[in-house]
Each structure stands twice: as structure tokens, then as C-alpha cells.
Structure 1
Amino acid sequence: MDRRTETKPLLVVEGLTKHFPARNGRIVHAVEDVSFEVKRGSTVGLVGESGSGKTTAGRAVLRLIEPTAGKALFDGVDLFSLSAAEMRAYRRKLQIVFQDPFSSLNPRLRVAAILGEALDACGFPRGKARRERVAELLTLVGLSPDHATRYPHEFSGGQRQRIGIARALAVEPEFVVADEPVSALDVSVQAQVLNLLGELQKKLGLTLLFIAHDLSVVEYLCDEVVVLYLGRVMERGPSKLVYAAPRHPYTKALLATAPVPDPTRRRTHVALTGDIPSPIAPPSGCVFRTRCPEAIAACAETIPPVVEIGNGHHVACIRHDERA
């Protein structure tokens, strides 16, 4: 059975909220009431500008940072309700690929030792079986088994990211958060790593949460997309629907700046001026209203709920009916 055809979600995130303390008793509202689902065997893209809360949300789901509120139901079990000891039992099922391949690998360790640390965590035996598993992992990500004896500085950025992917896959996880895994790479290398992730997903039946700021990357790889702005969901739904008919002004603005590989296609320009506000003092009502070219007075009064407009397509905008 093709796991990509399953409709049951592997992960259900409900009301995820993460606050950080700031000076003078203030609070950083990094993530606010974020909800989404990730179907088993699919890829969901979590996108937005820098400061939108996407990396915080991804790490909170894995409890690499502790959430302030909400639920994360992984195969029916709320990860946020587990004790530290209970959570350790789930670490093997939940892994992450970090953004920067230059800083995420220990420069003092050879590749075999880097992958060996991950294998130690799941009790994998040493000796011949360990060496064979390391060689298998390197081959899986398109590297040579001979690379096991080298240090990270001997590899290119793309090769280092492949090693990071191999480390995440070492424990045979079910769910992987890919935190902007190609943003630090040259454009020519990005496509290679994206293709690798797509191939690995099909081969291993992985479920991915792919974090990115580039909507063109998400369009290529993801089945569904969740658009975040200042910690809140602006729009979410099947990628084809969101890209074909975006309903939130922020999504339109992001799409307008995304490169189009087809020279016959043109994006409609949407003006987006100014910087993202401080999460310490987010705007009242819709957090996007201070930069929204379509904002009206009512946008400052109420936080718009995320409502379904059909076929799993959701939007958080009080004026969405006007754009139907």
C-alpha cells in the first residue's frame, strides 16, 4: 500500500502556542494558536518570512523547546503531555534536519562517528554491523561509503547537508522536520537536495514537515502548505489550491516575490512595504494589517479566525468572502 494515499493524519497540531520571556516582564509572542495536520506519508510546508515563527513551531512540535500551550497528537498520543522519560521513547520516531550544514556537524568527528552517535541513541550494535549501517546510510543519501573516514570540513555544503539527512535517518524515524534545509546552499545544489528528500520520502515512507521562506521550494515539494505571519496562521490548505487561488493578501505577496520558472507565466504584483512588527507588541486584530494593502478599520478590532472556504482550504481574513 502506498502510504502517500492514506488520509489519516500522523500528526495533528492544535492551538500550538509558544511565548518567550523578555526584559521588563514583557513576552515574545513567537507562535500563537497554530493548528494544522500532517497526513502520513505526505509533506506539509510551513512558510513565512524571517520572524514568522515557523522554526519555533517546528521545534516546539518535537519538544526541542517546550511549548506554552496546545497539543501535538502524534499517532494519537499528545507529545506535549508526556514526561521527559516518556518523550525519550518517541525521539527515535521524530527527527530533525537543521538549516546550517556547516554548524550542525561536529567538526572534530569523522562522519562515521557523527552517524554513530545517532546509532548509539537507538542501541545499534558496534562492530561490523555498525560499519555496514554507516555505509548504507551514506549510500542512501548519495555519498560514498568511503566518506565515512572524512571530517566535515572536507565536504561541500550540499554534501554536508546530505550527511545531516543521513544522521536524521539513522534511527529510522517516521516523522522528520526539515528546518530550511536548502536555504544555506547554492541554488545549483538546492534542487539536488530537494530531489533527494523527495526520493527518500517515497522510498522510506517518511512524513515531512518542511520549513521554508521560499514559496517556490514549497510548491515543488509539498502536498499542503501552512502560511505563517508573526506566529499566526494566515492561510493553509492543499498546495495546488493555495498556489492557484491564494485568498490571503500575505500569501499573495509571498507568491508575487517567488521566482517563476516558466517565462510565459507572470505573478501579479502585490505591494508589501515595511518590516514585520515586533512579536513583543504585535498589532491588535489581524497581525498582518499594518502591512496589508487591503486592510480596513475593522481589521484592527478582531483577530480573524481560521475558517475553511472549501476543499480543505483555510484562510484567516475577515474580507475573504469579498475575494471569492
Structure 2
Amino acid sequence: MATRLVEVQKLKKWFPIKGGVFSTTVASVRAVDEVSFFIDQGETLSLVGESGSGKTTTGRTMLKLLQPTSGKIIYKGKDISKLTPNQMRPLRRNMQIMFQDPYGSLNPRMPVGDIIREPLDVHSIGTRKERQQAVATMMETVGLRPEYERRYPHEFSGGQRQRIGVARAIIINPELLVLDEPISALDVSIQSQIINLLQELQQRLNLTYLFIAHDLAVVRHMSDRVAVMYLGKIVETADNDELFDHPFHPYTQALLSAVPVPDPDVKRERIILQGDVPSPINPPSGCHFRTRCPYAMPICKEQEPAMIEVAPGHTVACHLLTRK
């Protein structure tokens, strides 16, 4: 039996828009709107979707780097959504994040050894000598030479800087790691090195990943399960092979049709979505995808589709599945 590590239930994160003389709330950006999913110990759940769909906000809200508007975040059976920053502090050792920008996420005024050691200092782990040894060991683990620890971030390549980010995230032995598009800013040749490093570390340290990405070829290689997001909502969730082989939601089908096939004899029909992603300030009524869906029906405008299980572990939110 898999051990449930984290579960989010109807998670919302709305950003208020202020206006008027008294700065009252006139509208809200519905970045994350009643999102639910779970991640078991040691598995990788990938969160995919177009830019602006709410993937990064979901990951940061799950870690409480952003305070949720409503909903529950259940970590190892305990609801942490209402905990204060001081109450969250002991849990920070178990939940870390790796940011998208391998340069902007590193302090340019700190040597990389200090950057990697900082989590140990913050959580008062070990003696000074033990921390120094842990930094040297961790740098070797992620493929960096320990003698580089006095160098500064600008002296490293993009791939090396991302390795520094990996070392900083895992040096305190977390259980859950949010990977926020960790390879999107890297060259293709370097992307494969970072992906292989993350998979090796996951097996060695029994890490659990929330992998946020939009490169579906990488997602298929990396994931155990996949959740597809559109305009702040999850529209389909399934095991990795099940989702790629049998996509049900029209949005998922459109995303997968854009993935290149490394075989010149295989022809895949490209599905081109019309129009732009609607504003999260004023999303469409009913199904959020209906304004771009080639199969939209009148009910799609009137009623939001419920999640339906179409196969074991495969859920979809689409009225096409209930049409008689």
C-alpha cells in the first residue's frame, strides 16, 4: 500500500485587486480555483498546462509560501492550511522547492558554499564542522567539485547553477520537493543531465516530487501520475501511461497533439486551439475551457462539469462523458 504524503482538497488562491479611494477589493485573480489532488510517498506527480494556468501558484500555495484563500492542505494526515509561519517552521525541513530561474533564485553576493549551507544554518542542524562536511558531500553528490564552494553564482553555467539549487533543496533531507519548471531555462543537452540527476536522487533518498512543467515529453519520462490544469482548475488526472495513451479531455488531447513524435513514419494530427486563454479575473461560466473547445455544448456554459472516474485512477471533468 502506498503511503499518502500530501493531499490538497478544494484549494483556492485568489489574489485581490484593489481599487477606489479606500482601496477596496473590486475583483480577484482566480489563480487556483478548487484544486484537489494527492501525492504518495516516493512518487512523482506532474502538473502540466499552458503558461498562466496556475501551476506555479498551486505548488507555492501547497508549501504555504503563499497563504491559501481556502481549502485544505493535508501533510501526513495533518491539515497545515491554517498554521502560522512559526508553526510551519519545523515542517519546512520536510518540504522544499526548486525554482525555475537557476540564477535569479541564488543570492549573487553569497558564495555557493554558503548558499548550500544556509538551510542547515536556518534549522540549526549539526555543528559548524558537520555543516561544512555536509556541503562538500552534497556538492559531490550533485556533480560539483567541492573546491568550487568559494565561487559566486555568476561564475557558473546555467546547468551548474541548477545543480546548486538541487543541492540547497535536498541538503536537509526533505520528503517533498516541488520542482517548478527546473529545466525550462536550460539547454536541451543540460536538461537531460538535470532530469537524470533528479531521478537518481529520488531513488536514492526516497524523495517525493511535484513536478511542474509544460514540456510533455519530459513529463512522460519523469512522472508516475499527471494532472492537467487549465485556468486554475484540474481537468484530468491519470497514471502516466494511461493519460498519454488515452487522453479524454479535449484540452489534454490538444496538448498531447503538440508533442513531437521521433518517428518520421508516424503522423499525428495537430489540434490547434482557437482564441486565447480567458482572463482569470473573469473566467467563463460553466466549463472554463468551453470558449476554446471544439465540442462545446449549451450545458458547458450553464454548468461546471464534475470530476468523473473513467478508469481506475483516471478522472476527467468534461460534459462530453455524460452526454447521452
Structure-1-length-normalised TM-score: 0.95
Kindly state the Cα deviation for residue 306 of structure 1 after the two structures are TM-superposed: 1.3
- The residue number in structure 1 matching 2:223 is 222
CA contact (8 A) 1:272 1:292 kept: yes
Q: Structure 1: which amino acid aligns with 2:285?
A: S
- The residue number in structure 1 matching 2:156 is 155
Q: Quick one: structure 1 residues 202 and 266, their matched pair in 2 at CA, closer, same or farther if it must change by over 3 Å?
A: farther
- The residue number in structure 1 matching 2:5 is 10
Q: Percent of counterpart pairs with the same letter? A: 51
CA contact (8 A) 1:227 1:236 kept: yes
Q: Structure 2: which amino acid aligns with 1:13?
A: V
State the distance in 1 between where 2:200 and 2:103 align: 24
RMSD: 1.4
Q: Structure 1: which amino acid aligns with 2:321?
A: H
SS in 2 for 1:22: strand
State the distance in 1 between where 2:307 and 2:169 align: 33
State the distance in 2 between where 1:242 and 1:292 align: 19
Q: Quick one: structure 1 residues 22 and 204, their matched pair in 2 at CA, closer, same or farther if it must change by over 3 Å?
A: same
Q: Structure 2: which amino acid aligns with 1:304?
A: P
Where does structure 2 lack aligned partners over 5 or more consecutive residues?
20-25
Q: Structure 1: which amino acid aligns with 2:311?
A: G
- The residue number in structure 2 matching 1:128 is 129
Kindly state the Cα deviation for residue 322 of structure 1 after the two structures are TM-superposed: 6.2
- Aligned pairs for 1:32-181 within 5 A: 32-181=33-182
Q: Structure 2: which amino acid aligns with 1:152?
A: P
State the distance in 2 between where 1:265 and 1:120 align: 54
State the distance in 2 between where 1:40 and 1:108 align: 36
State the distance in 2 between where 1:134 and 1:94 align: 19
**CA deviation map 1:129-188 (0-9, x unaligned):** 222101111111111111212111111101100100100001110000000000111111
- The residue number in structure 2 matching 1:281 is 282
Q: Structure 2: which amino acid aligns with 1:93?
A: N
Q: Does structure 1 residue 291 correspond to structure 2 residue 292?
A: yes
- The residue number in structure 1 matching 2:23 is none
State the distance in 2 between where 1:193 and 1:273 align: 35
- The residue number in structure 2 matching 1:202 is 203
Q: Structure 2: which amino acid aligns with 1:177?
A: V
State the distance in 1 between where 2:98 and 2:265 align: 35
Q: Quick one: structure 1 residues 100 and 116, their matched pair in 2 at CA, closer, same or farther if it must change by over 3 Å?
A: same
**CA deviation map 1:5-30 (0-9, x unaligned):** x5222111110111001144111111
SS in 2 for 1:125: coil
- The residue number in structure 1 matching 2:235 is 234
State the distance in 2 between where 1:71 and 1:265 align: 44
- The residue number in structure 2 matching 1:3 is none
- The residue number in structure 1 matching 2:22 is none
**CA deviation map 1:188-218 (0-9, x unaligned):** 1111111111111001000000001121111
Runs of 4+ in 1 over 6 A off after TM superposition: none
**CA deviation map 1:240-291 (0-9, x unaligned):** 1110010000001111112223444443321212211100000011000111
SS in 1 for 2:91: coil
Aligned length: 318
State the distance in 1 between where 2:310 and 2:283 align: 26
Q: Structure 2: which amino acid aligns with 1:165?
A: V
Q: Quick one: structure 1 residues 190 and 322, their matched pair in 2 at CA, closer, same or farther if it must change by over 3 Å?
A: farther
SS in 2 for 1:275: coil
- The residue number in structure 1 matching 2:308 is 307
Kindly state the Cα deviation for residue 69 of structure 1 after the two structures are TM-superposed: 0.8
State the distance in 2 between where 1:204 and 1:82 align: 27
Q: Structure 2: which amino acid aligns with 1:75?
A: K
Q: Does structure 1 residue 20 correspond to structure 2 residue 21?
A: no
Q: Structure 1: which amino acid aligns with 2:193?
A: Q
**CA deviation map 1:20-71 (0-9, x unaligned):** 0114411111111100110110000011111100100000000000001111
SS in 2 for 1:28: strand
Kindly state the Cα deviation for residue 222 of structure 1 after the two structures are TM-superposed: 0.5
CA contact (8 A) 1:27 1:280 kept: yes
SS in 2 for 1:282: coil
